[in-house]
Amino acid sequence: MKFNARKLIDKDYNCLVSWWKWWRWTPVPKNFLPDNGTGGIMIEKENTPVVAGFIYHTNSDVVIVEWIISNPDYKNKDRKQAVELLLNTIEAVCKDQGKKCMFSIGRSKHLINTHKKLGWVVDEKPSYEIVKTI
């Protein structure tokens, strides 16, 4: 069976919250996500959600790709292919919209290596997320 890429829908949010909790992340509030939690892509296989990510649109030619998260219960060997499909699908969507650059932040070595494999430039110097709630 092949993977299927689709736009996130409202009912995906609870699934993503459970994944974030399993991976020991603080769940991202809906109002912090693009399109209130539907502004991204889900990769599925046989109706099983495998991996998802969000696309933040800006008022420039740059998009921010964030909150990539995977199903902790999906153990198949093709998991890496699902992540690659997610990133390639996001890239295709952004190209279709005329965007010129994608930006992301990551800590996971596996995810960083996948980005590199797909042609992303990874700055090897550590950086920090800097956030202020206003």
Amino acid at site 99: K
Model confidence pLDDT, tens digit, residues 85-116: 999 999 999 999 999 999 999 989 999 999 99
pTM score, two decimals? Answer: 0.94
Reduce the DSSP state of residue 28 to 3 states and report it: coil
Residue 44 is predicted with a pLDDT of: 98
Q: Where are the domains of the chain?
A: 3-117
Tell me the C-alpha distance between 39 and 33, whole Å.
7
Amino acid at site 117: K
Residue 129 is predicted with a pLDDT of: 86
Q: Quick one: 3-117 is in which CATH superfamily?
A: Gcn5-related N-acetyltransferase (GNAT) (3.40.630.30)
Order the strands of the 3-7 sheet from edge to edge.
3-7, 40-45, 48-57, 62-70, 101-104
Q: Tell me which residue has tokens 């296989």.
A: 45
Q: Which residues of the chain have pLDDT under 70?
A: none
Could you tell me which residues come within 8 angstroms of residue 38 by beta carbon, excluding any fewer than 6 positions away?
7, 8, 9, 10, 12
In this structure, are residues 94 and 102 in contact, taking their beta carbons and an 8 Å threshold?
yes
Residue 126 is predicted with a pLDDT of: 83
Tell me the C-alpha distance between 117 and 19, whole Å.
25
